[in-house]
Structure 1
Amino acid sequence: MKNKTLIIIVIIAATAAALSLGIYQKRTHQINASLLQIEQLMYERPDSAWKILQHMPSISQLRKEEQALHALLFTQAQYKNYIPVKSDSLLRIAEAYYRTSNDSLHKAWTLFYLAQYYRDSDEKEKALSYFQQANIASRNIENNQFKFLLNLHWANLLSDEDAENKGIEKYQTANKYAILLKDTLKQIDLYGQWGWCCLLTGKYDCADSLFNMGLKLSTSSKMTYYNYLLNCLSLTAREKKDYKRALELVNRSLSLAKDSTELYPLWNNKGEILLEMNQYDSAHFYLSKDTRDYDP
């Protein structure tokens, strides 16, 4: 009798264990599927990826591999949705896992976002170190999208650090990957950012050339870029004291702008041009259109 009871208990325990294992495996499969779905959405629909992440189980309930990917995707979604990343704690979870993993791509992305975080935190030495580490991690992967972004953001930081030649080299590398991707928008964006760095460092002819290169690639389907680059060219002309050209360019940009987010910087630029021309009443008229922080 006792033997029969023992056998029944063993069968029940084994059945419960099997059921628990089945439930655990099913849950793990569902979580992995959700994370993969989020990763696929991230590039074209980062807002949707962010919404799905909000409904994922707490990171503490996940396995280490899932924790690492969740932490990376959560940070990536924040950057892509322009949500400030206030801590590197999640990225540290991802870094700890991917440092010893054979997953070079996710390791490279983690190091890249750590570089972004430290750049935004004004810890530039750390940022440069992580950009370098991300570059080493990505040497054996074929992902032109990643390599474009890495070199573009690395170039911007190097330009801010007055490492001009190294910055130019990274911009040129980023442009190579944009061409390989056959992505005109990426090229236009690159020329805009590269030109802006030249403008800020007083290299006005270089800025003018780069903004014009971006403008040539722009079409009506990329009107936001076209409008932005017109205003950039106006700013360059203003710095050169060529006020007639500066006004012509900003007026062209104003004629194409559609909403206040586009109009605010244009009104400000035109006001500043008129102010430098000593046309104070006209300058006040345009500067006061931006009611957010204008002080007469």
Structure 2
Amino acid sequence: MKVLYTALLALLLFPSCRRQSGDIDSFLHNAESLMNEHPEDALSIIRHIDRRKIYSSASEARYALLYSQALDKNYVDVTSDSLTAVAVNYYDRHGTKHERAMAHYYQGRVFSNAGNFDAAIRSYSLAEDAASGTDDYYLLGLINNAVGNLHFEQYDLDEALQRDQQAASFFHRAQSPYNEALAYIGVGTVYSLKGDNEQMEIVYNKAIEIYKELIKYCPYMKI
């Protein structure tokens, strides 16, 4: 009887030992909610998560994606795709278009940090294909900006110019004026290298006008 009781108790306890704590999903939700306005806090939350307690494939993918996003937003240049590969592998099979786009975008960021131009372009292309089926204009702006930077580094000025212009357009649609202004600065830089000072001045003035509007709401901001 004692052996039977012990076996039954073990069967009852085993699932509870493997059950993922609800705190994990709560932490991930909190990190996601802080990601845009307070990325440093989001990163701190994620770093305190014990990954060994994540037993769900969905939560593992979400953790990997949010961790990759938080590192990127805090300017931590990761060159290994060990995290982003988890997100890509899961969301390519089970994710929404937006989740697939995010996973491939941040994998592109990793490849870009590692100096792998071809792999980065492939990732950004997959991200763009997925994001094109959404209304996330901010993400589309980020993708075009990243691709533009890669082509700029390769001194492919025509492609860089086109991508920076598209980035500015998407950021405008996303109502993200700061990023729109940065995109215009990129456009102006390319025009300068192409020797088109007239167009350079036009787009630089667009960026300045955006900054002036931002200063009205953020007086401490400097141009």
Q: TM-score range by the shorter chain?
A: 0.7 to 0.9
Residues in 2 aligned to 1:208 and 1:224: alpha-carbon distance in whole angstroms: 25
Give the AA of the match of 2:69: Q
Q: What amino acid is aligned across from residue 127 of structure 2 in structure 1?
A: A
Work out whether 1:145 is the aligned partner of 2:145.
no
List per-residue Cα deviations over 1:211-237 (Å, max 9, x = no partner).
11111222234678752xxxxxxxxxx
Deviates more, 1:16-25 or 1:165-174: 16-25
Asked if the contact 2:39/2:74 (under 8 Å) is kept, the reply is: yes
The two structures have a TM-score, normalised by structure 1, of 0.65
Q: How far is 1:104 from its partner?
A: 2.3
Q: 1:82 deviation in Å?
A: 1.1
Give the whole-Å Cα distance in 2 for the aligned partners of 1:195 and 1:225. 21
Q: CA contact under 8 A between 2:61 and 2:87: conserved in structure 1?
A: yes
Of stretches 198-207 and 123-132 in structure 1, the one that deviates more from structure 2 is 198-207
| Percent identity between the two aligned chains | 21
Letter in 1 for 2:15: L
Structure 2 unpaired stretches of 5+? none
Partners of 2:31 and 2:42 within 8 A in 1: yes
Q: Tell me the residue number matched to 1:45.
A: 38
Distance 2:27 2:203 in 1: 42
* Structure 1: stretches of 5+ with no match in the other structure: 228-296
Structure 1 CA distance, aligned partners of 2:211 and 2:73? 23
> Which amino acid is 2:81 matched to?
D
Contact 1:60/1:67 (8 A) holds in 2 = no
Tell whether 2:128 aligns with 1:135.
Answer: yes
> What amino acid maps onto 1:153 in structure 2?
A
1:156-195 correspondence runs (5 A): 156-195=149-188
1:76 Cα deviation from its structure 2 partner: 1.2
TM-score, structure 2 length as denominator?
0.83
Q: Which amino acid aligns with 1:144?
A: Y
| Residue of structure 2 equivalent to 1:9 | 4
Using the alignment, how far apart are the partners of 2:196 and 2:110 within structure 1? 28
Compute the displacement of 1:159 (Å). Answer: 3.3
CA spacing shift, 1:59–1:94, aligned 2, 3 Å: farther
By how many angstroms is 1:49 displaced? 0.4
Query: What residue in structure 2 maps to residue 56 of structure 1?
Result: 49
Alpha-carbon contact 1:188-1:215 (below 8 Å) kept: yes
Letter in structure 1 aligned against 2:4 = I
Structure 2 partner of 1:93: 86
Q: Which structure exhibits the higher relative contact order, with contacts defined as CA atoms closer than 8 Å and separated by 6 or more residues? A: 2
Query: Could you tell me how far 1:61 is from its partner in structure 2?
Result: 4.8
Name the counterpart of 1:21: 15
Equivalent-residue separation in structure 2 for 1:163 and 1:223 (angstroms): 38
- CA RMSD in angstroms comes to 2.7
**How far apart in 2 are the matches of 1:151 and 1:134?**
10
Is the 2:77–2:110 Cα contact (8 Å) retained in structure 1?
no
2:193 maps to 1:207 = no
For 1:26 and 1:85, locate their aligned partners in 2 and report how far apart those are by CA, in whole Å.
28
